[in-house]
Structure 1
Amino acid sequence: MTKHDFDTIVIGGGFAGVTACRDLAEQGYSVLLLEARDRLGGRTWSEHKKIGGWEGTVEFGGQWVYPDQQVNMMAEIERYGLTLKHSPAPVNYPTLRNGRHNPGPLPVPLEDVFDLERAVHQVISDSHRIELGIPLDKQRLEDLDIPFSEYLDNLGVSDAARAFVASFGNFFTGRYQDEVSALPPLQFIAQMGNSFIRAWGVIDEYLAEGTATLITAIADDSGADIRLGTPVDRVEQSDSGVLVTTRSGETFSAGTVVVATPMACWKNIEFNPPLSAHKDAATRENHVAYGVKVWAQVRGATPLPYTLPDPETSHGAALMFTQAEMEGDDQLMVGFFLQHPERESFGTDFQGVERFVQTLYPGAELIDYDIHPFVDEEWTGEGDWIAYKPGRISKSHSELSKPEGRLHFATADIAHTFLAWMDGAVEMGKKAAVDAQRLMTREMIESKVPARAKASAAASTSAQARA
C-alpha cells in the first residue's frame, strides 16, 4: 500500500468533523484535522461573556438539544459527563403580524382559532408522511418540496392562521417563505414527534457547560493532529490516495478524506475530479439561512415571553424569548431576525438591535447586547444553518451524503434524521467515519491477498525446483 502522511484528513472542525476524527482515531487510524477558523466548533460557538449586568456562557450558534429524540447528542453528553439545563418556562406567548400585537395565550385572535386548527391538522397530516432516517429523495415527497409560500397558500386559511404556521418555517430556515422549500419545515414537525405544540416549545434544554466544552472534549479524545487557521484550497484524488493543499500552499496526503464543512463551502474548494452533479449544483445554489442570533439585556419587555412574529410583516423579526431572569424589570433575552442581503433588515449595530427589540416590545429599552453574524463569514458560505430552496432536497438528499471515491461527506446540512441540528452533525460525522474505515479496511485486506498469493507461488516454485 502507498505510504501517506495520514490515514485520514478531516476538513472542518465542527461537531461533524471532530466526531469523525475521534471515531477514526479510536480504530487506530492517524487523523489530521484542518480547520479554517482560529477555533473549533463551526456554526456552534460558546464563550464566557458579560452582557450588561449578566455574566455567563453565551451560545452564538447552535445551542438546543431535544433529549427525547436526539440520541446522538445525548450519547455524547452522557459520555463526557455534561449536563442539560432548562431555559426559564415562558409565561406569555405573544405573536405579531402586520404591526398587530396579539398577547396570547392563543397564538391567533379568537376569530381565527378554527382556521388555525385546520392549518395545524394539515401540517401534522403532511408531517406523518415523512419517515425519519430515510433520505427525503427516497420517500416520494416531491409534492411537498414546493415554495413554502405556495404550501401556506394551499392551506386556504385566514391571514393570521397562515402567518402563525409560517413563523415556524421562517425561524427554522432563516429565510422568507418564497425562498425555501416547505419540506424541511414539515420534517422539523416530524422530528418533534409530529407535534406542533412540541415544535412550538423546542427552545428549552441546552448544555450548561456550553457547546465549546463538548466540542473540546471530543477533539481532545481523538488525539488527532489539529491545525487551526488552515483553510483548504484543493483536494485531488488518485487511485492510491488523496492530496490536500491548503491556501498557504502546504500539502498533505491521506488514504481518505472527510469533508466536514458546511455544504455551501464545497464550491470554495477545488475538487479533482469534480464533485458529482448533485453536490456541485447544491453547493452553488447557496442553500443558507440568513438568521442572526442576538443576546440582549432588555428592560421593560413582556415578562417571560416566547414571542413569535411574522417575519414577512415585521421587518424580518423571527423569535425572542427569555434566557435568564435578572433584577428588577430586566431580562436576558435571546432573539433571532433575518439579516437578508437583498431585503430590509434591522442591522447588527446597537440601533438596529434596539429596533428589533422595540418592534416586538414597544417601549422596551435595550441595555446591552452581543451578536455574531455568521452571515458575514466565508467559512459558513456567507450564511448560517441550512435552508433548502424548493426542488433540491427531494431530488438530491441521498446523493449529498454519498461517498465519492476516497471522499466522505459529513455536515448537519445533509443529515438524514435531524437536518440542521447539532445531532445531525454528529450523526453524519459517525457515518463518514464508518464509510472511511470500510474503505481503508477493504484496501488493507486486498493489499495482503496478492502478497500472500505471490509468496505462496514463490514457495511452490522453490519446492518444485528442489524436487
Structure 2
Amino acid sequence: MTEREVNTQCGVSRRRFLRDAGVVSAAGAAVAVGAAHIDGVQAQENNQGCKSAGCDYDVVVIGGGFAGVTAARDSSKHGYKTLLLEARNRLGGRTFSSEFAGHKIELGGTWIHWTQPFVWGEVERYGLQLKETPEHHVPGKDTLSVIHEGKRIELAGKDLMSAVEGIYAYFAEARKLWERPYDAKYTWNQLSAVDAMSATDRYAQLSLTPLQRTVVDAYIAGISHTTSDKASYADVLRWWSLPGWELSQFSDSLGRYTFKNGTISLINAMIADGKPEVRLSTPVAKVEDKGDRVLITTQQGDTIVAGAVIVAVPMNVLPRIAFSPALDPALVAAAKETHTGSGMKVFVRTKGKLPVEGKYTGIADSQQPLSLVTTYAKADDHTLFACFGSDPDKLDVQDRDAVQQVFESFFPGIEVTECYSYEWTLDPYSRGTYCSYRPNWLGKYYDHFQQDRGRVIFGQGDHGEGWRGFIDGAISAGGKAAKRTQTLLG
C-alpha cells in the first residue's frame, strides 16, 4: 500500500480510509513520502551510552510529532541515550508532507511566521529555505467571494471595509484578555470571567450586521477548526493576540510562510542533528513508573526500561496508553471530551488557469461545508486550492459532484477534477486536528495540563502558553520537557 492510498481522494470511501489508517498506523505496512529515513541500529551506535543504572535508555520519548522530535533531539544533545517511539510509519505527527497535482503540499500543519519564535529559531538554526503562499499572489488583484444567506457576494469597496470593521469589533477585547499571550495567569481573572462563553455567545454582545457575522464566523471556523458554538471565545481571542492584535499580521502569521521542502525538512534536520534512536510503527501500550525507573511496554509486547519518559502524543489519544500510577483524572476527562479541532483540510484541483491575476478566496460561515477556499498554486492547465471546513461529515471529499457543487457556489463556472485530503479525525493516533479549547476548559483543565508525575514528563504540543496547537507550540513544549527531564536526571 502506498502513502497516497492511505489518504482520501475522490472515489475512495471514508470506510476504507478508516480501515487503512488503522492498519497502516499499527502495522507499518506503508512507506510514507518524506518520512525520516533513520536506521535504528546506526542511530543507536551514534547515541551516547546509557547513564541511568539498570536502564536501556536514559530517556524514551513517546510520539514523533514536532514536540516529540524536539524532545528527543534535545535530550540526546544533553548527553542522554535517547529513544523516540512513533506509532505511525513516519515522523511528523499532525504535519504530513506530500505531493498532489505536481505541487508540494502539507496535509496537516503548514504555515509558520517570524512572530512564532521557536519554529523561526529552528529555521535560522538549520538554514532551511522557505516559500510564500499562495503562489503567484498579486496584491490588489484578488477576488473575494462570500456565501451569505445562500447567495454569493463579491466582497469589495464598502462591503469589504464593513467586514474588516466587524472583525475588529469582534476581537476588540483581545488585548484586555490576553495582554501577555504567553502568560494566561497574568489576566486570569479576566479570562475566567469569559471562560464559559462560546465564540457564538460573543455575537449577542455586539451589533454586527448579518454580513459581518458571516465573515467573522468564517475566521472563527479557521481558528478553532469547528463550528463557533463549540469553540471557546477566550481561546479564539488568544490567536488574535499572539501576532499583535492586527489583521494583516494575523493573516500573515497564519498563512504566508511555509517550508520550501516541506515540514519534514525540519523534522529530518532535527533527527540528523540530535541522532536519537528512532523506532517507527511502534505504538506504546503501557507506561509504568516504578519510582527509580520507568517500564514502557509496546503493543508488540516488548518492554523498554528508561530513566525517564517524555509523553508527546496528542491529548485525544492519551487514553490509548495505560499509565501506572493512573493519569490525573482531569487529563482523562479532557481527552475523552476531546478538544474542538475536528475539521478538515482538502486540496482541490480545478481545470484551467484562473482567468485573472491574483488569487481567488471564498469564505462562508462555520456551519457551511467549507468555510475557507483559497488559491494555493497555479499552473498553465490547472489551479490548486487549499480548503478548510469545520466538519468532515458535511462534505464527502471523495464525491467530486458534491465538491463541485460547493465550488460552484463560490466561483461559478469552475470545474473540479480531483481532491486530496487526510482525515485526521479518523487517524487513531491523532483523533483530531490541531488543538483548540472548548468553553470552560481554562477553569476545568488548565492547571492539570503539562504537569509532570514522577519520572513521566508531559511535553504535548496541545498545551502550554503562546502558540499551543501550532508547530511553534509543539517545539516549545518538547524543548521545555527535555529541559525538565535534564533537571530530573541530573
Could you say which TM-score interval applies, normalised by the shorter chain? 0.7 to 0.9
> Among 325, 328, 349, which residue is 2:378 paired with?
325
SS at the partner of 1:380?
A: coil
Question: Which whole-Å CA distance do the structure 2 matches of 1:4 and 1:211 have between them?
Answer: 33
Q: Answer yes or no: is 1:102 the counterpart of 2:175.
A: no
Separation of aligned partners in 2, 1:219 and 1:186 = 35
How many pairs are equivalent? 427
TM-score scaled to structure 2, two decimals? 0.82
**Equivalent-residue separation in structure 2 for 1:135 and 1:246 (angstroms):** 37
Match of 1:289 in 2: 341
Q: Is the CA contact (8 Å cut-off) linking 2:296 and 2:305 kept in structure 1? A: yes
Partner letter of residue 229 of structure 1? Answer: S
Distance 1:258 1:422 in 2: 18
- RMSD, matched Cα: 2.2
Cα distance, 1:302 vs. partner? 7.6
Change (3 A) 1:208 1:39: same
Give SS of 1:139's match: helix
Letter in 1 for 2:94: R
Comparing 186-195 with 93-102, greater Cα deviation is found at: 93-102
**Is 1:253 aligned to residue 302 of structure 2?**
no
- 1:152·1:166 contact (CA, 8 Å) conserved in 2? no
- Look up the match of 1:263: 315
Match of 1:10, SS state, is strand
Q: Counterpart in 1 of 2:401?
A: 351
* Partner in structure 2 of residue 43 of structure 1: 94
For residue 387 of structure 2, give the secondary structure of its aligned residue in structure 1: strand
Which letter maps to 1:431?
Answer: K
**For 2:172, what is the secondary structure of its paired residue?**
helix
Q: 1:359 to 1:411 in 2, by over 3 A?
A: farther
Are residues 1:126 and 2:174 paired? yes
Preserved CA contact (<8 Å) 1:5 1:253: yes
| 1:307 matches 2:326 | no
Structure 1: gaps of 5 or more residues: 442-467
8 A Cα contact 2:228 2:366, kept in partner = no
Specify the alignment match of 1:363 in structure 2. Answer: 413
Query: Which residue does 2:249 correspond to in 1?
Result: 198
Deviation at 1:265, TM superposition (A): 0.8
- Provide structure 2 residue ranges, at least 5 long, that are not aligned to the other structure: 1-51
1:237-252 matched pairs, under 5 angstroms: 237-252=289-304
**CA shift digits 1:14-49 (9 cap, x unpaired):** 0100000011111110111110000000000102x2
CA distance in structure 2 between the partners assigned to 1:302 and 1:338 by the alignment: 29
Looking at structure 2, the residues matched to 45 and 325 of structure 1 have their Cα atoms a distance apart, in angstroms, of 22
Q: String of CA shifts for 1:142-179, please: whole Å, max 9, x gaps.
A: 23321111122222322221222221111111111111
Q: C-alpha separation between the residues in 2 aligned to 1:138 and 1:223?
A: 41
Instruction: Write the letter of the residue equivalent to 2:295.
Output: L
> CA shift at 1:128, angstroms?
3.9
Task: Find the residue that maps to 1:64 and give its secondary structure.
Answer: coil
**Among 318, 336, 339, the residue aligned to 2:388:** 336
Distance between the aligned counterparts of 1:10 and 1:273, measured in 2?
A: 18
| Equivalent in the alignment of 1:402 | 451
* Separation of aligned partners in 2, 1:227 and 1:191: 35
* Identity %, equivalent residues: 28
Query: Is the CA contact 2:63–2:86 (under 8 Å) kept in the aligned structure 1?
Result: yes
Higher mean C-alpha displacement, 362-371 vs 168-177? 362-371
| C-alpha separation in 1, matches of 2:233 and 2:355 | 31
Matches within 5 A, 1:146-157: 146-157=197-208
CA distance in 2, matches of 1:137, 1:176: 29
- 2:480 aligned with 1:434, yes or no? no
In the TM superposition, residue 263 of structure 1 has moved relative to its aligned partner by 0.7
Residues 11, 261 of structure 1: 8 Å contact kept? yes
- Structure 2 CA distance for aligned equivalents of residues 116 and 209 of structure 1: 34
Q: 1:272: Cα distance to partner? A: 1.0
Q: Is the 8 A contact 1:119 1:157 kept in 2?
A: no
Separation in 1 of the partners of 2:185 and 2:334?
Answer: 15
The answer to whether structure 1 residue 386 and structure 2 residue 432 are counterparts is: no
* Whole-angstrom CA distance in 2 between matches of 1:42 and 1:35: 9
Per-residue CA distance 1:381-414 (angstroms, 9 max, x = gap): 2x21113211013442243112121111222210
Q: State the AA in 2 paired with 1:400.
A: F
Give the aligned residue type for 2:287.
V
The alpha-carbon distance between structure 1 residues 153 and 196, as it changes in their structure 2 partners (threshold 3 A), is farther
Structure 2 CA distance for partners of 1:84 and 1:401, relative to 1, 3 Å:
same
Change (3 A) 1:166 1:159: same
- Specify the SS of the correspondent of 2:473: helix
Matched ranges for 1:411-450 at <5 A: 411-441=460-490
Question: Is the 1:136–1:393 Cα contact (8 Å) retained in structure 2?
Answer: no
Give the letter aligned to residue 384 of structure 1. T
1:64 aligns with 2:77: no
Contact 2:166–2:212 (CA<8 Å) still a contact in 1? no
1:68-93: CA deviation from partner (whole Å, max 9, x where unpaired): x1111111112222111111336223
2:216: which partner in 1? 165
TM-score (norm 1): 0.86
Determine which structure has more spread, i.e. the larger CA radius of gyration.
Answer: 1
- Per the alignment, residue 23 of structure 1 pairs with 74
Change (3 A) 1:138 1:267: farther
Using a 3 Å threshold, how does the CA distance of structure 1 residues 427 and 437 change in structure 2: closer, same or farther? same
